Copies of this chain bind each other. A is one copy, B any other.
Amino acid sequence: MQRSYAIIGTGALGGFYGARLQHAGCELHFLLHCDYEHVRQYGLICESPDGDFTLPKVNAYADVRDMPKCDVVCVCLKTTQNHLLPQLLPPVVKDDGVVLVMQNGLGMEAQAAEVVGAQRVAGGLCFLCSNKVGPGHTRHLGYSLVALGEFATRGISERLRAIADDFRRAKVETELANDLDVARWQKLVWNIPYNGLSVVLDATTSELMTQPHTRQLVEEIMREVVADARACGVAVTGEIVQKMLSNTEKMTPYRTSMKIDYDERRPLEVEAIFGNPLRAIQHAGVASPLLEQLYRQLKFLDARNAMSPR
C-alpha cells in the first residue's frame, strides 16, 4: 500500500521532511499559510548536505478543507498554534489514518487525541537542524533522525514500521520507540536546559558548555529533568545526562530553535517545552525549582517580546 501524507505547517521542519518524502516518491499534500501563493507557483526547494533538490510542482493548500483525507497527517506547526488543531485535523485524517505529532515538548499527542481519538495518534520526535530561508525554501544543516512511537499503546506497531520505511526511503534515519513517554522526556532532558538558557542568557550551546558555571547548571537542570521524569513514572535513566553533555560538547556552536524564535520575535514554545512538563510534575506532587524558574523567566521574556514587534 502506498501511503498519502499531509504536512500541516510547511516550515523548516514540515518543508524538509515533506519534500524528502515526495522526492522519494510518496504522495504529499502541503498546508501553507503565508507561503501558499509562492509554493503553489514555484514549489519547494531543499538544500542539504545530502544533496540539494527542487520540487517544482507540489500539492499546496491554503485551507485544510480543500485537502484530501490522508493516511498520515504530520503535525509540523509550532506548538503555539495548537489551539487550531480542532479545526485542522478532522478534515484531513482518514478514519484509519494516523496523526503524527512532530513537535517539541510534552502533551501535544494528548491535545491531538482529544480531537481525533487516542488510537489515531502517534509521536514523531525530530532531531533536525533545518532553517526556513525563504518561502518553500529550507536549508538542512545536519541530523534528520525521527523517533516514532505510539501514543495509546506501548510497543512497535505495524503502521509505524510502514511510516519508518517511507522515511528511510526518503533518506531520513528513523528509530522506533517502544515507549513514547520515555522518548519525549529524554528529549526534554536536552531541550529544557539548552532552549531555556540560550534565550535567557542570549547564548549558543557552545558558549553554555564552555563557561564552567553554565556547564554545571546545564548538568544540574538535566539531572532535575531526569528526576522529574521518574517522579512522573517514566523510566528515564541518569546515564543519558553524560551522553547528552558530551554529544553537545562535540556539536558545532548551535542556536537553539527557541533562541531563533526569540530573535525573530516569534512566540516561544514555552508551554509545550516547559509549562506542560512543569504541570505534570506538580501533578505528581514534586517540586522542580530549576525548571520552574526557567519557565517563569521565559514567560517574562516571551511576554515582553510580544509587546515589541520587530
Residues A297 and B211 in contact, CB atoms below 8 Å apart: no
Q: How far apart sit A299 and B197, CA to CA, in the bound complex (Å)?
A: 13
Q: Which residues of chain B come closer than 8 Å to A289, judged between CB atoms?
A: 220, 224, 289-290, 293
Residues A301 and B201 in contact, CB atoms below 8 Å apart: yes
Tell me, yes or no, whether A119 is within 8 Å of chain B by CB. no
Q: How far apart sit A290 and B201, CA to CA, in the bound complex (Å)?
A: 16
Q: Which residues of chain B come closer than 8 Å to A203, judged between CB atoms?
A: 300
Q: How many copies does the complex hold?
A: 2
Q: How far apart sit A224 and B300, CA to CA, in the bound complex (Å)?
A: 20
Contact of A214 among B200, B213, B300 (CB under 8 A): B300
Q: Which of A199-232 contact B (CB under 8 A)?
A: 200-201, 203, 207-208, 211, 213-214, 216-217, 220, 224
A interface residues (Cβ-Cβ under 8 A, vs B)? 197, 200-201, 203, 207-208, 211, 213-214, 216-217, 220, 224, 289-290, 292-297, 299-301, 303-304
New A-B pairs, 17, CB < 8 Å, besides A216-B296, A289-B289: A197-B297, A200-B201, A200-B297, A201-B297, A201-B300, A208-B300, A211-B304, A213-B299, A213-B300, A213-B303, A214-B297, A214-B299, A220-B293, A224-B289, A289-B293, A290-B293, A293-B293
Most B CB contacts (10 A, CB to CB) among A208, A290, A293 go to A293
Q: Which residues of chain B come closer than 8 Å to A301, judged between CB atoms?
A: 201
Distance from A24 Cβ to chain B, minimum over Cβ atoms (Å): 44
Shortest 6 CB-CB contacts between residues of A and residues of B:
A213-B299, A289-B289, A213-B296, A217-B296, A214-B300, A211-B300
Q: Which residues of chain B come closer than 8 Å to A304, judged between CB atoms?
A: 207, 211
Residues A217 and B290 in contact, CB atoms below 8 Å apart: no
Q: Which residues of chain B come closer than 8 Å to A201, judged between CB atoms?
A: 200, 297, 300-301
